[in-house]
Amino acid sequence: MKNFKFEIKDNELIIRLRLDETHGLSKSGRSIIISSSEGNFRLFDKDGPRYEFVNLTVHKRAPQDDVSDADSDTTE
């Protein structure tokens, strides 16, 4: 798990992460990873394992040297 903590309080999942922390580029190189669960993980609370799983990725666009038309919603 990179850059996040969670807790379950009153049957609500609370996730905390720092938005100013980064963990490198994504595999495609188009995004900067802010936080990742690095796959699925099972939730636990004070009573032990729960039935829910979380798969979390928070990212932002990586700066591009030149803006490509591939990012637009229109096609030629």
Each residue's pLDDT tens digit, 1-19: 899 999 999 999 999 999 9
Instruction: Compute the 3-state secondary structure of the chain and give helix, strand, coil in percent, each to the nearest 5.
Output: 5, 45, 50
DSSP at 63: P
- What is residue 65's predicted lDDT score, i.e. its pLDDT? 63
57 with 22: CB under 8 angstroms?
no
49-72 pLDDT tens trace:
999 999 999 999 998 864 454 454
DSSP at 69: G
46 with 52: CB under 8 angstroms?
no
For strand 12-16 and strand 5-9, is the pairing parallel, antiparallel, or unpaired? antiparallel
39-48 pLDDT tens trace:
999 999 889 9
Rounded CA-CA distance 13/44 in Å is 11
Q: Is a pLDDT exceeding 60 seen at residue 74?
A: no
Q: Is a pLDDT exceeding 70 seen at residue 73?
A: no
Tokens of 7: 């807790």
